[in-house]
Amino acid sequence: MSSYSRVLVGTDGSETSYKAVDRAAEIAKASGAQLLLVTAYRPLSQREQQEAAQQLGAEAYKVIGSHPAEDVLREACQRIPDSVDVETIAVEGDPVDVLVKTANERDADLLVVGNRGLNSITGRLLGSVPSVVTHRSPCDVLIVATT
């Protein structure tokens, strides 16, 4: 197995994506690699922001902007051993685009994703995140069995 210096893993806050985070952390620890923990988010529309403000009042900040994505990253970090050098990255955009672009920009050696969506009808017809990432990634890809 190659030794990696920068491992990138995507998470959306789901339990299955955290399995990919766990595996990426194991690899980063074993390789002495930096772990890039990445999540993509989409901003709320103006209408959605107004609805959130009406329903949540002062708590609306929790669902507007990158705050939910930062919560996902914070929770994922709690799973990673202290001995692993972790950097968290929240980027607005489509998950595949964000993962591939970040892997390119940060010179990742390995991109880790979960397999959720690979066996679904939607995934087969439209392309799941792991499937599309394997075709566009600039580096090795590990698809972790998470389902």
Q: Which domains does the chain have, with CATH numbers?
A: 6-144 (3.40.50.620)
User: CA–CA distance from 42 to each of 16, 19, 99 (Å)?
Assistant: 20, 23, 14
State how far Cα 125 lies from the chain centre.
22
Q: What is the pLDDT of residue 47?
A: 72
Q: What is the pLDDT of residue 50?
A: 63
pTM (2 decimals)? 0.79
Closest CA to 24 of 96, 117, 113: 113
Q: What is the pLDDT of residue 131?
A: 80
Helix segments in the chain, DSSP class H:
15-31, 46-56, 67-77, 95-105, 121-122, 129-136
What backbone torsions phi and psi does residue 140 show, to the nearest 5 degrees?
A: -60, 150
- Residue-wise pLDDT for 74-129, tens only, equals 999 999 999 999 999 999 888 899 999 999 999 999 999 988 643 444 334 334 77
